[in-house]
Amino acid sequence: MIIKHTQSRTQNWTVVTFGFLALALAFSARAALGLVMPVWQNEFGWTSSFISSVGAAALIVMAIVAPFAGRLVDSRGPRFALVLGMGVLAAGCALVAAMNGKIAFLIGFAGLSAVGFGIVATHVVATAVVRDFETNRGLATGIATSGATGGQFLIVPLIAGLLAYASWRWSFAALALSSLLLIPCIMIAMKPQAAMANGGTTQQSGQTRLVDDAWLIVRKPAFHILFWSFLICGFTTTGVIETHFLPFASFRGFPPVPSAAAYGLLSAVNLVGMIAAGWLTDRVNRPMLLAAIYGLRGLTFLLLVYLPGTSIETLFVFAVLFGAVDYSTVPVTASLVASHVGVRVMGLAMGMISAGHAIGGAIGTFLGGYVFDSTGGYEILWFSSLWLAAGAGVMVLLLPKSGPREAAA
């Protein structure tokens, strides 16, 4: 009995470890687009609008893939999903490393890599952790999903080093090789798990279709609250800050190096914020916690609205405060999906919710550029983000403290 319990605990933290590493590689590959953009502009004569459009197209592909990736976890287990995702991501990065034209770049990044991004995503890892943990789910989810930002803090500088001392091709080749090397590690260390969708039996699996579970999910009011709040989350993070923070800093006269340092600090604090939010998820009222995160995030935009001149100190203060409430919504949202929508269909539900996050990110990316071109500044974007984040905070307060008993079954 003791041996069996020890093996179970080892398997649990194995999921956390490899979930962290997989997300670190996937999100670092996404971040590499911004690092290499100036090089491609010089080498191929590509415009920033073209490269940015490919990045936006990748977000749309991720939104489409996300629900199916979540369903894959429900039906085939997390090991199969992560192995498939890392394989597709490796193929995409390899194609980008070898490409010499727009078509190959489009297929490699917005096609293959984007499918990999959609599978190796926070909702897949969060679902895997929730399925494998009876206690401390929030903390484990926070640690595993913090690879999305903390991993970048570790890997992106290595990519930048290869870019500086070798070439951009070596940067993407290293990402492809690392993704391939992680596959046998996942297959050896993570045990296959039984499907949870449709009760895990062959007969039920044949009778219950994807659309049936999707209909079951969308009938739950809690799903709509979590979907729209997470869409706003995507708008205010992926769309607004990840895309427009550095251009805003440049617009306000900050040099590239301190601006990048501020963004790097934001990513480092992000890791701490996700783990802390996961720890709190196991201990406090979760809707109140999520509402507080959205509310505090909204208030941080006031620092950008009223940024005094070229005060680099204020920029760093914003980086610390925003980083603490950036991706920290992920472990709380995942926990609420498990309890209020259901563990059995959590992969599909989290995939649908994550699709909303990607859509919100695409909207924020586009509107940020449109607002700047139209007004010559970012004030409207920051105020919009403030009020949207506040609205998301009010929205999640409508959730009950605990979900229905049958949802967690």
- Assign residue 271 the CATH number of its domain: 1.20.1250.20
Q: From residue 281, how far is each of 136, 165, 270, 276, 323 by CA, in Å?
A: 9, 43, 16, 9, 18
Q: For residues 52 and 138, state if they share a domain.
A: yes
Distance CA 141, CA 132 (A): 10
Q: How far apart (Å, rounded) are the C-alpha atoms in residues 171 and 267?
A: 20
Q: Taking Cα atoms as reference points, which of 113, 110, 143 lies closest to residue 19?
A: 143
Tell me if 49 is assigned to some domain: yes
pLDDT at 2: 42
Instruction: Provide the token pair at 171.
Output: 């940067």
Provide the number of structural domains found in the chain: 2
- What is the pLDDT, as a whole number, of residue 28? 87
Gap between the Cα atoms of 397 and 222, Å rounded: 11
Distance CA(248)–CA(303), nearest Å, equals 13
Residue 253 sits in the same domain as residue 347:
yes
Q: Where are the beta strands (DSSP E) in 19-142?
A: none
Task: Determine, yes or no, domain membership for 201.
Answer: no
**Tokens 């070798």 correspond to what residue?**
166
**Domain membership flag for residue 379:** yes
Domain of residue 8: give its range. Answer: 1-191
266, 134: one domain: no
What pLDDT is attached to residue 202? 44
Alpha helices in 166-209 (DSSP H): 168-189, 202-207
Q: Give the global pTM.
A: 0.83
Please check whether residues 177 and 294 belong to one and the same domain: no
**What is the structure's pLDDT at 8?**
47
- Residue 216 sits in the same domain as residue 187: no
For residue 196, being part of any structural domain is answered with no
Give pLDDT < 50 ranges for the chain.
1-11, 199-207, 406-409
What's the per-residue H, E or C state across 273-314? Answer: HHHHHHHHHCCCCHHHHHHHHHHHHHHHHHHHHCCCCCCHHH
Domain endpoint, select from 167, 191, 215: 191
Which uninterrupted H or E stretch holds 364? Answer: helix 346-375
Q: Are residues 155 and 242 in the same domain?
A: no
**Residue 358 burial (10 A CB sphere; 0-12, 13-18, 19+):** buried
Q: How far apart are the first and last CA of the chain?
A: 24
